[in-house]
Amino acid sequence: MSCPCRPLCLVPKPNCSKPDGPLPRHRATGPALARQVMALPLFDGLEHDVLERLMADSTALACDRRTLLFSAGAAADCFYIVLDGQVKLFALTPDGRESIVEVFTPVSSFGEAAMLSMGIFPLHAEVIEDATLIKVGRRAFITTLQSDRAVAYRMLAGLCRWHQRLSSEIRHLKEQPPWQRVAEFLLALTDAQVGEALVSLPFNKEILASRVGIRRESLSRVLARLRDMGVRTEGNSVRIDDVGSLRRLCAETGH
């Protein structure tokens, strides 16, 4: 199983434990930068040095609110990584109002598709909350892709893996009740297939709740119910009495 908190916990290692603490206002420097960027879908599974070459002509930006990053129609010679703050992508409707297509929060990227295919941004992008961004230049990115053929394959492979992760998350959201999603989240934190397991939550309950798509009050109740199934929660450490039987419960379709 892969690390279940991947999109949020910023730690690229599969044996993820806890994040470094509450999200700081990031300064794009050194290893912290690398770890966050390596956690992006686009870079899933790439080595650190490959990453450095890909991002050779990239720059870190500190942007204030209301900064316009690009307009629709502009040449897409870069894409962006959001380390902190928020950026909105929007279109202008015929009658002049703007319709927000997407809002990007840390840590995510946008504009890759435009840069890689059309070469033109189809939407406008504006910073809506003071942001720290990485602007990834096209040149080094592309030349690296060309120079080392395996990089492109591995990047494709990484995106395919992510695609499956997301698809399966969608299925779970649609056909599993919340308590099963919570249970599976916990199970994904351990390698054990049978017997007892001790895991620690990679972040606080508020975030865990939003991760599985419920409110934190509901999460409390779910954890209370799971206690009857041998899942003892205490602070952010959890003991699962019998991993095997819990897995079996989750595998059952429907209710």
Among 62, 116, 128, 207, binds a copy of itself (CB under 8 A): 116
Cβ atoms of residues 194 and 244 within 8 Å: yes
86 binds, among a copy of itself, DNA, none (CB under 5 to 8 A by kind): none
22, 31, 94, 235: which one contacts a copy of itself (CB under 8 A)? 94
Q: Which of 54, 83, 131, 155 binds a copy of itself (CB under 8 A)?
A: 155
Nearer to DNA, 221 or 247 (CB): 221
Of a copy of itself, DNA, none, which one does residue 120 interact with (CB within 5 to 8 Å by kind)? none
All residues at 6 or more sequence positions from 133 whose CB lies less than 8 Å from its CB, including other chains: 60, 61, 62, 63, 69, 80, 81, 82, 83, 85, 87, 127
Q: How far is the CB of 105 from DNA (least distance, A)?
A: 17
Output 141 or 226, the one with its CB closest to a copy of itself. Answer: 141
Q: How far apart are CA 232 and CA 227, in angstroms?
A: 5
Rg, Å, the chain Cα set: 20
Check residue 160 for interaction with a copy of itself (CB under 8 A). Answer: yes
Residues for the chain: how many in total?
Answer: 255
Q: Taking the CB of residue 217, how many other CB atoms lie within 10 A of it?
A: 10
- Which residues of this protein are in contact with a copy of itself, per CB under 8 A? 41-42, 45, 93-95, 99-100, 102, 108, 110, 112-118, 142, 145-146, 149, 152-164, 166-170, 173-175, 193-194, 210, 213, 247, 251
